[in-house]
Structure 1
Amino acid sequence: MTQAAKADLIHISDVAARIPKFLNKVPNLLTGLKQAYLRTPNTPAGLGLAFEKAVKRNPLGDALLFEDQRYSYQELNQWANQIAHYYLSKGVKKGDVIAVIIENRSELVATIVALAKIGVTSALVNTSQTGKVLTHSVNLVKPVALIVGEECRQAVDDIRQDLNIDENHFYWFADQATRENAGTAPQGYHNLAEVILSFPMFNVATTQTVKGKDGLFYIYTSGTTGLPKAVIFTNSRWTLAYGTYGHILGLNEDDVMYVTLPLYHATGMVVCWCGVIAGSSALAIRRKYSTSAFWDDVRKYKASAIGYVGELCRYLMDAPPSESDRAHRVTKMIGNGMRPNIWSKFKERFGIEEVLELYASSEGNVGFSNIFNFDNTVGFSPTPYAIIQFDKEKNEPVHDSKGFCKKVVKGDVGLLIGKITSRSPFDGYTDEKNNTSVIMKDVFKKGDSYFITGDLVRDIGFRHAQFVDRLGDTFRWKGENVSTTEVENICSEYPKIVEAVVYGVEIPNTNGRAGMAAITLQDGAELNDQDLTDMVTSFKKDLPPYAVPVFLRVQKVVETTGTFKYQKNKLKEQAFDPNKTSDRLLVLLPGQSAYCDISPEIFSNIEAYKYRF
């Protein structure tokens, strides 16, 4: 164990020193826990109910800020009610699914509240998706309708003939403030902003009938293999997040949380917004993250809290220091992925007092949150879990003489697994086949069951953990999970490529892992200058930007194990270093439209962090 890792271990004296500040949070936390845990699958619960309570507490206070738009809780609620009444009039009912493809803007938030009120599950489709991946994501959840923003319409039009949705059930929002100007819908779409105008603004009665077991969202994850999987996110699970993360943050009616994270992900949509609704606070959103605009927006909205992922923090740290770095009122932040090497530096530079780092996955049943405000930890977990010894070479847990798993000792790294109980259930994926591969049985005794997170964490004591790495065929880049199988399939469709092996590689001083594909070409084929451009165009057509391989390695033959599995460990170790292989290595440098060869100079510049990937 390194000295840094030893320094992060938590002792009883450390916890005792934090108790006085923690006591201030207890009343709010108890309120939240009461709502989170005194619930059953059959009691009314969820986003719609919590939002209506926030409306009662702070009707005229700001609920949503976007660009120059400002909506009070009452106004946002009335807008959502009109959408809800409209869909009820069309026969849409609890249990139905509607696919929603809108970038971070007011129309998305109003739509989500509306659908939550009538018990409809919103399929939060990644707005970066196109082509076959988008087709798969939409058809997978069998939606009765689709709502798209103009900014994403072209991607939908390109695959519309492949979608299993009635032609009369496509809805559209103009890319503007539609409460002021509904715009003119293109042919084949209903203008949702226009058709709701004659519907009432009072609360729909259905909110009270939505129960914990009912679906709230489908959130897409790459899982471990293949195309995106749709994770069922129930109202009960949302209420758990609301009662824990939401109340721990301790926001109030004077607070504003600034969120630039995509709202099709749980960190933005669930974690950040939970804290806002719990405090009847304001949510300030930006369509897409911008380093140059970040602190200006924070000041514009008078934000007191921010949502983050690790990459965002790194981008802000990379920006030149400024006298205005502390010219704001932000003291709290909530999110995940803050790296230990910048944690304390970030707090010091920007004047942050509290980093509510957390750990959770869209599909998982175990969560951690940094309620005691320690540095370099995903925090404390009240849910039952274990960290077990794991053999990375064999890619399997270590077992004792009786065949049971072995827990790590404090300070060691192991595989995180979450115990499946009635209070911490595994809701699972839409496809039952995907569920069996992530459940481990007979772990410590016969009959027990645990969810396999696929993440390696360090046990640092007192039910606190530290994230270390991700196992399997998924890696994280640009704040997104990338499925290697999905990228392999798309790469292999390029005419000259016979086979592709995709994996994540680390770039110094950069969060996550960049995508790298080891490709094998057709017999006698070579990549020319035109190919280096055409491959980028081809990959971008069917892959979101974060999944396009940053590096390529041209191999003569793909090495496999005796069971025909790719030898990814060796490829990851050699990465894009021209000193470790004679294979041709290519890189897609930031802002470029074609791959180029990795020369010693380019490799040296990458290592020296002269490119901002």
Structure 2
Amino acid sequence: MRVRANSVIGPVRRVVATAQNGLEVVRLGGLATDITRSPYVVVERTPMYRLRRYFTDAETGEAGPPIVLVPPMMMSADVYDVTKDQGAVSVLREMGIDPWVVDFGEPDVEEGGWDRNLADHVIAISDIVEFVRRQTGRKVHLAGYSQGGMFAYQAAAYRRSRDIASLITFGSPVDTLAGLPFGIPAEVASNAADFLADHVFSRLAVSGWMARTGFQLLDPVKTLRSRVEFLLQLHDREALLPREQQRRFLATEGWVGWSGPAVAELLKQFIAHNRMMTGGFVIKDTVVSLAEISTPILAFLGEVDDIGQPVAVRGIQQAAPSADVFESSLRAGHFGLVVGSAAVSHSWPTTGEWVLWREGEGGKPAEVYAMRRDEVHPGETGVSLADRVVHTVASVAELGIGVGRGLSDLASGAVRGTVELSGEATRALPRLARLGQIQPHTQISLSRLLAEQRRKAPRGELFVFDNRIHTHENAGARIDRVVRGLIQSGVRPAAHVGVLMGTRPSALAAVAALSRIGAVAVLLPPDGDQLPVAVELGNVSRIVADPEHVELAVGTGKEVLALGGGEVRELELKPGWKVVDLEQIDADAVTLPGWYRPDPGLARELAFILFTESHGSLEIKQITNHRWALSAFGTASAADLDRSDTVYCLTPLHHPSSLLATLGGAVAGGSRIALSRSLDPKRFGEEVHRYGVTVVSYTWTMLREILDADETTVHGIHPVRLFIGSGMSPALWNRTIDEFTPAQVLEFYASTEGDVILANVSGAKIGCKGRPLPGTAEVKLAAYDPVTRSLIEDENGFVRECADDEVGLLLGRAGVYAEMQGGALRGIFAAGDAWSPTENLFRRDQDGDYWLVDHKRTVVVSPRGPIYTTPLVDALGCVRKVDLAVVYGIEVDGTEIAVAAMTVKGNGLPAVADIEDAFAHIPVDQWPDILTVVAGIPVGTSYRPSATELRAAGLPSPGPRVRYLDLESGTYKRFTKAVAAHFAEGRGVHAGAPHGSLATGAR
């Protein structure tokens, strides 16, 4: 009977205990414990935060090195002190560290809490670092868990590491798109984050219960397991009490709300655009990059952390190339990094040892290693499959449920590639479709596209200049004010208004304002000699100039409208100057005339006038709105530009590539534009990192300035994915992709006034111009005689189309715009067809790709046949010692001879044998007659080498730096006085002589 009674009493007691404990949980939210938290004092209080300093009563003597602990936005500051005995602050204090904790409070009870944005948190942390430094007289060790670690990184970058001794983070992702929960494809996450930021969290905040639920859903197996374990042990109070504080914290007490603006910025900047990784995130209109962090970093990694996945956390190594980055890994999930047995035994002791080591008070912690850079393939997270399976199976086995999420990543990888590949097409197709819909009467212009972007995302970032962000709303308001000033000054639609300005926001505003009125912006070159010619060619009525160019503009005799520098600057004017200061016009007082309609530009109408230099003289290029749109949408499609890109504009605004491709492509793609004052290698390296530049524009030899400079600071790690432009030589192309791996080059060719745009999208054939972009003109090569400069007809009177690898004149099928302008040729390949000629000669290879061989006016017509200059220049550029090269023709006694001039790198001269080897793929009868090494080759404002001065100097003087071509032997020989005399008489000399070095003058 006693046995039977015991068998009954035991289960009854268990039921009673379960009921009693359960009732206590229901009434009080948990079991009552005698566990207390660590003592602290709030030493600083602001509307944004309260700063706790722990154990102030226990201090004796000088405090240890200070560490500031930052919680995530959605979690209470008590995460660092869940229990007094095992919390972070107590462990650190025992090791002699002075712990401070940031408490952001709860947004729903703090004044203005729901209006907080991301920058408010970062600036608050920056202010706290300043405060602690003043209070302690020591640099601060800044630490943060999860998003708190992201805040720590951002604040350190914002301060450029000032007063920060080291950074410590726990499961804080940097490359957010590299490791997303559930294996979500980056393309999907980016698009979803953009949508949620713009349309959901701009109106909605995240309450504490939503944050708690979201966190638990990220690891549903662990959440379910914890709840089941708690219920199964509810009868055993003694077993539950040690973990009760932690359970209550996770279940209810530890969660606080997020303000909508802060969530929106988090989604947009660090998930949609991944700017923790690329740089260029914005804190209160200031552009910041983690590349500016120079303080040592320790990042804790959870081996089974599916929230702060190792591959995402390790992104800090690439994002902060100037910092010494270390890691410490432990077998824990996300929350286990900071709370629980693993944190008590590993995370916090290691943190204390790290602080003491950095302070010179101890050795390097045993569990800290230099962060390794894993070769992670797309779709991998850094959490090994074995770890994930073991961790998940162990969890679900305790609950008796099926294995699901732990293996789901295997399937998610299969769709990731498909989604990412389709993303480019998703962006490109609407742009190409819009191009196809443009008719002569369609309203399309630069200002109209800017207005569209402003309506879509008023707070979106339009451009960055001098480290300051200008949003669509701010820029749009500035453009509207400039419009009123221009109208007040007499500017009307179709008026030709010159723009003479350096690279600055006001220049962009001036061009956009003229477009908004429907006037024609004439982009004037800031060259005193060329300016009067450009003003006359452009039929300019008045000039908009910045303060630096006012005097130059006044010299043209035209009325000058001064713009730029703001209302506070003083404009120095001399007597007799006809200058109107647009900054002094009260825009609000201007009454808009009845004729004004914003953005009236039609596709067929003239929008811009640009200038190019050819053979030392200016050529006018008239750009319609359609031609601008063609280049803008074509560039955006070919470069796959979107809102996550920052496009770096190195060329001045008056250069065709700047307005048509760089600015046009960025506006059409919704990308951010980074304007730079000038090409400066040191500034280039700084701004690429700080702005998070993903696409760099170039022209001709521009990137040579960057690659040759010692001041360039890209550290081999950079956010650039693409260089876009035209005129890059194969040698410079190879140097660029070698130096900026894994970035690629997208080389364009565009007829300035026609509709022909070629692009080498794949980049596989270096030096090739590629194929026509979809939506641009169909192209053909017409047989062409470079001697007579005429098209070659067949027996039926039509122009013969070139065969593969035959050199011909590039023609583009004429659209309605070309026909309206009267520049089309008819009856070329068929009766009634219409084609627009370009100025350039190409060949088409067997794959259908086009290669530029020359401008039709620079072909050297020698007695032995045409000599095409571009293949020769490209070949010389590949010779190891050659820096710049040009090939040009000079007339000597009625005969045109080809001269190749080159500059060299360093000391010594290139070997003739190397040059001959470089020419090996070119027929000998198309080699230059003369090779000469010169002291310098002028480079124009577009960075294109110019032969004008060398051509004017005539035949090079004899000497060891000059060689001539002996056709009989197919070699270059020394150019002596006797040989020069024969050339001067218009005769070639072919005496045999061995070849050697240009420097030695060997036989």
Distance apart, 1:113 and its partner CA: 0.9
In structure 2, C-alpha distance between the alignment counterparts of 1:353 and 1:452, rounded to whole Å: 34
- Change in CA separation of 1:309 and 1:50 when aligned onto 2, cut-off 3 Å: same
Q: Does structure 2 conserve the Cα–Cα contact (< 8 Å) formed by 1:182 and 1:193?
A: no
Q: CA offset at residue 342 of structure 1?
A: 3.7
Are the counterparts in 2 of residues 518 and 552 from structure 1 also a CA contact under 8 Å?
Answer: no
Of residues 77-86 and 361-370 in structure 1, the stretch that sits farther from structure 2 once superposed is: 361-370
Q: Distance in 2 between matches of 1:199 and 1:518?
A: 64
SS in 1 for 2:518: coil
What secondary structure, in the 3-state scheme, does the structure 1 residue paired with 2:620 have? strand
Alpha-carbon distance between aligned partners in 2 of 1:19 and 1:512, rounded to the nearest angstrom: 45
Which residue of the partner structure matches residue 359 of structure 1? 749
The one-letter amino acid of 1:464's match is D
| Structure 1 residue 180, shift from structure 2 partner | 5.8
From 45, 49, 71, give the equivalent of 2:448: 49
Alignment partner, residue 513 of structure 1: 886
Task: Quote the offset at 1:582 in angstroms.
Answer: 3.0
Shift of 1:349: 2.0
8 Å contact 1:363–1:426 — kept in the other structure? no
For 1:71, give the aligned amino acid: H
| 121 and 44 in structure 1: CA distance in 2 versus 1, 3 angstrom threshold | same
Is 1:456 the equivalent of 2:841?
Answer: yes
Alignment root-mean-square deviation, CA: 4.2
Count of aligned pairs: 490
Residue 190 in structure 1 maps to residue 190 in structure 2: no
Q: Retained in 2: the 8 A contact 1:22–1:372?
A: no
- 1:551 and 2:939 correspond: no
User: Quick check: 2:726–2:749 contact (8 Å CA) kept in 1?
Assistant: yes
Q: Normalized against structure 1, the TM-score is what?
A: 0.69
- Which residue, 812, 815, 818 being the options, matches 1:421? 815
Correspondence for 1:58: 457
Cα distance, 1:92 vs structure 2:
2.3
Which residue identity lines up with residue 212 of structure 1 in the other structure?
Answer: A
CA distance 1:552–1:401, shift in 2 (3 Å): closer
Matched residue type, 1:109: L
Give the residue type in structure 1 aligned to 2:662.
C
Of 239, 260, 270, the match for 2:629: 239
The answer to whether residue 207 in structure 2 is matched with residue 207 in structure 1 is no
Matches within 5 A, 1:361-510: 361-376=751-766, 377-381=768-772, 382=774, 383-422=777-816, 425=818, 440-461=825-846, 463-472=848-857, 508=877, 509=882
Local SS of the residue matching 2:609:
strand
- Residue 389 of structure 1, CA deviation: 2.8
Q: Is the 8 A contact 1:310 1:511 kept in 2?
A: no
Residues 219 and 387 from structure 1, CA distance in 2 versus in 1: closer, same or farther, beyond 3 angstroms? same
In the alignment, which residue of structure 2 is the partner of 1:79? Answer: 478
Q: Which amino acid aligns with 1:229?
A: E
Change in Cα spacing, 1:390 to 1:149, as seen in structure 2 (3 Å) is same
Paired residue for 1:267?
A: 657
Amino acid in structure 2 at the alignment position of 1:141: G
CA deviation string 1:267-320 (max 9, x = no partner): 111111122212332211223223343222212322111111231233334346
Pick closer, same or farther for the CA change 1:197–1:297 going to 2, 3 Å: same
Correspondence for 1:181 among 560, 564, 569: 569
Verify the 8 A CA contact 2:858 2:888 in the aligned structure 1: no
Mapping of 1:518-537 within 5 angstroms?
A: none
SS in 2 for 1:328: coil
Q: Residues of 2 paired with 1:249 and 1:386: CA distance?
A: 24
Name the CA distance, whole Å, in 2 between partners of 1:213 and 1:314: 38
Q: Which residue number in structure 2 is paired with residue 494 of structure 1?
A: none
Contact in 2 for aligned 1:44/1:210 (Cα 8 Å): yes
Q: Distance in 2 between matches of 1:462 and 1:157?
A: 54
Letter in 1 for 2:671: S
| Counterpart residue type for residue 88 of structure 1 | I
C-alpha deviation, 1:212, in angstroms: 1.4
- Tell me the equivalent position of 2:466: 67
- In the alignment, the residues of structure 1 paired with residue 703 and residue 493 of structure 2 have an alpha-carbon distance, to the nearest angstrom, of 39
Rounded to whole Å, the distance in 2 between the matches of 1:325 and 1:121 is 43
Unaligned stretches of 5+ in structure 1?
1-17, 476-502, 521-538, 557-574, 586-601, 606-613
Give the structure 1 partner of residue 671 of structure 2: 281
**Higher RCO, Cα 8 Å, sep 6+:** 1
| d(CA) in 1 for partners of 2:642, 2:944 | 37
CA–CA distance in structure 1, aligned partners of residues 763 and 713 of structure 2: 27
Match of 1:136 among 525, 533, 537: 533
What is the deviation of 1:450?
2.2
Deviation at 1:412, TM superposition (A): 3.5
Q: Which has the higher helix share?
A: 2
Q: Structure 2 CA distance, aligned partners of 1:458 and 1:400?
A: 19
What residue number does 1:349 align with? 739
Identify which of 96, 99, 103 aligns with 2:495: 96
Query: Aligned pair in 2 of structure 1 residues 281, 20: CA closer, same or farther (>3 Å)?
Result: closer
Q: 1:116 aligns with which of 515, 540, 546?
A: 515
Contact 1:185–1:191 (CA under 8 A) maintained in structure 2? no
Higher gyration radius (CA) = 2
- 2:425 and 2:568 mapped to 1: Cα distance? 43
Q: CA deviation at 1:197?
A: 4.9
**In the alignment, residue 624 of structure 2 is paired with which amino acid?**
T
Contact 1:554 1:583 survives alignment (8 Å): no
TM-score (norm 2): 0.44
Query: Counterpart amino acid of 2:626?
Result: S
Question: Any conservation in 1 of the 2:783–2:801 contact (CA below 8 Å)?
Answer: yes
Aligned residue in 2 for 1:489: none
Task: Report the Cα distance in structure 2 between the residues aligned to 1:102 and 1:357, rounded to whole angstroms.
Answer: 28
- What is the rounded CA distance, in whole Å, between the counterparts of 1:120 and 1:308 in structure 2? 28
Q: 5+ residue gaps in structure 2?
A: 1-416, 861-868, 894-937, 956-971, 984-996
Cα shift at 1:117: 0.6
User: Could you give the per-residue CA deviations for residues 527-574 of structure 1, whole angstroms, max 9, x where no partner exists?
Assistant: xxxxxxxxxxxx99xxx9976844266569xxxxxxxxxxxxxxxxxx
Change (3 A) 1:445 1:309: same
User: Offset of 1:325 from its aligned partner?
Assistant: 4.6
Paired with 1:186 and 1:290, the residues of 2 have a C-alpha distance of 33
